């Protein structure tokens, strides 16, 4: 049973426009959410995160929004650039003592067209 779902396998956006990547979760115990970016033949790299006590977190062109009542989060990239073309993974974790395991979505492949 997938606890973290990214229902769109792929997304195509024009350069300069907004990219919106969505993620839904089912476990109400999750209290920390992360987005990772992955280029082919490389490991995932951390992009941005949000704690469940917040509903928005910004870092430059990247903003993550969290709607706890809907168990939904989204990543906005504005403006989108061709270098943003990658697979984006949503991950979530729950407080489990002194270590956190991440539960991963299947990823959304973003293509930003020049």
Q: Which residues of 58-91 are buried (b: 16+ CB within 10 A; e: fewer)?
A: eeeebbbbbeeeebebbbbbeebeeebbbbbbbb
Nearer to other proteins, 32 or 62 (CB): 32
By C-beta, is 25 or 89 nearer to other proteins? Answer: 89
CA distance 54 to 47: 17
Residue 56 Cβ, how far from other proteins at the closest point, in Å? 18
Beta carbon of residue 8, minimum distance to other proteins (angstroms, whole number): 14
Please pick, from the candidates 28, 67, 101, 113, the single residue that binds other proteins as defined by CB under 8 A.
101
**99 binds other proteins, rule: CB under 8 A:** yes
Please select the residue that binds other proteins; options are 45, 67, 81, 113, rule is CB under 8 A: 45
CB-nearer residue toward other proteins: 15 or 62: 62
**Is 63:76 a contact under the CB 8 Å cutoff?**
yes
Segment interacting with other proteins (CB under 8 A) among 20-28, 42-50, 60-68, 69-77: 42-50
DSSP string, 14-57: ETTS-EEEEEEE--TT--EEEEEEE-TTS--EEEEEEETT-SEE
**Among the residue ranges 18-26, 65-73, 78-86, 102-110, the one whose residues contact other proteins (CB under 8 A):** 102-110
């Amino acid at each position: 049973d997938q606890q973290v779902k990214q229902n769109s396998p792929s997304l195509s956006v024009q350069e300069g426009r907004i990219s919106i990547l969505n993620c839904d979760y089912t476990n109400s115990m999750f209290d920390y959410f992360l987005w990772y970016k992955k280029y082919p033949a490389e490991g995932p790299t951390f992009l941005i995160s949000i704690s469940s006590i917040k509903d928005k977190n910004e870092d430059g062109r990247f903003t993550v929004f969290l709607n706890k009542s809907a168990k939904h989060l989204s990543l906005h990239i504005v403006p989108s650039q061709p270098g943003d073309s990658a697979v984006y993974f949503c991950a979530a974790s729950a407080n489990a003592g002194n270590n956190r395991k991440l539960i991963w979505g299947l990823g959304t492949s973003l293509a930003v067209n020049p």
